[in-house]
Amino acid sequence: MTPTIVTLPNKEAIADYMAEMFVAAATADIAENGVCTLVLSGGGTPQPLYERLASHDYANRVEWEHVHLFWGDDRLVLPSADGSNYKQVKEALFDHVPVPTDNVWRMLTELDGARAAADYRWVLDNFAVQHQNRTGWPVFDFVLLGMGSDGHTASLFPESKRAEADEGVRVVSADYEDRPANRITLTESVINDARRIFVLVTGEKKAEMIATIIDGEQQPEKYPIQRIRPNSEHLTFVLDEAAAKFL
Ligand code: 6PG
């Protein structure tokens, strides 16, 4: 499949574009299915989007009581610690919008990795059984991903094992940019079942990797972002001009 590429001038324009994409998707999904499931990523890139969605202009355009929040990955730290993706989204977004607490499906990052992963597998399976009449994990409606300059996405790092078809959640140790962390992550098996996936990438530092993974050969072991190939074929890379400069 060929991903859609959207290039916008800067981070602010990306936040505006993505906020509109989310409002449209959530409105359609809630009308059709009664719920919208959103998978969140950490990192600096989506922060302006979270703030935009929490702002007065947007907060009232989403029926937040029907939105369910999940995480693509998180660090195994206390949910109150800096470095927690849960904390990032809590402070930037859902403290400011009326998402019911029961709809916030966080990873239990205060537990050890094996237990946190087992709990999240259970959370995903239970949600899928209750809302979608399937087992394993839900077909997520709207997945946000970032990409590292090494080609990682979520916490799927270069040379990590490809996911088995039934492997949904994984414990990972990684040392990206000399910042070692234990993490848990959804695998490509879960992510690729989603209805819509958006990969947000900004900055010149990632321009070479963007050109490599979009125009170069497929090396999904080396560049895990290339493992993202949704069955729905709805994969959009949303880039700023700096990240797109070699395309
Ligand atoms: C994280 C994410 C990770 C992130 C990329 C890009 O929590 O760190 O899971 O995959 O999206 O590392 O991060 P930046 O947006 O900060 O460049």
Residue 224, ligand 1, Cβ within 6 A: no
Ligand 1 center to 246 CA (angstroms)? 21
The DSSP 8-state label assigned to residue 74 in this structure reads E
Residue whose structure tokens are 């090396």: 219
Question: Is the beta carbon of 30 within 6 A of some atom in ligand 1?
Answer: no
Residue 3: Cβ within 10 Å count: 17
What letter represents residue 64's amino acid?
W
Q: Are strands 67-71 and 36-40 parallel, antiparallel or unpaired?
A: parallel
Verify whether ligand 1 is closer than 6 Å to residue 107 (CB atom): no
pLDDT value at position 1? 80
Residue 75's alpha-carbon distances to 99, 171, 177, in angstroms, are: 23, 10, 15
Give all strands (DSSP E) within the chain, no chain letters: 4-8, 36-40, 67-71, 73-75, 142-146, 169-176, 179-186, 197-201, 235-240
Q: Does the beta carbon of 41 lie inside 6 Å of ligand 1? A: yes
Ligand 1 mean position, distance from CA 154 (Å)? 7
Residue nearest to atom 3 of ligand 1 (CA): 154
- Shortest-distance Cα residue to atom 2 of ligand 1: 42
Q: Where are the alpha helices (DSSP H) in the chain?
A: 11-33, 47-54, 56-59, 85-89, 113-132, 188-191, 207-215
The tens place of each residue's pLDDT in the chain, 247 residues long, gives 889 999 999 999 999 999 999 999 999 999 999 999 999 999 999 999 999 999 998 999 999 999 999 999 999 999 999 999 999 999 999 999 999 999 999 999 999 999 999 999 999 999 999 999 999 999 999 999 999 999 999 999 999 999 999 999 999 998 887 676 899 999 999 999 999 999 999 999 999 999 999 999 999 999 999 999 999 999 999 999 999 999 9
Cβ contact 109:184 at 8 Å: yes
pTM of the shown model: 0.97
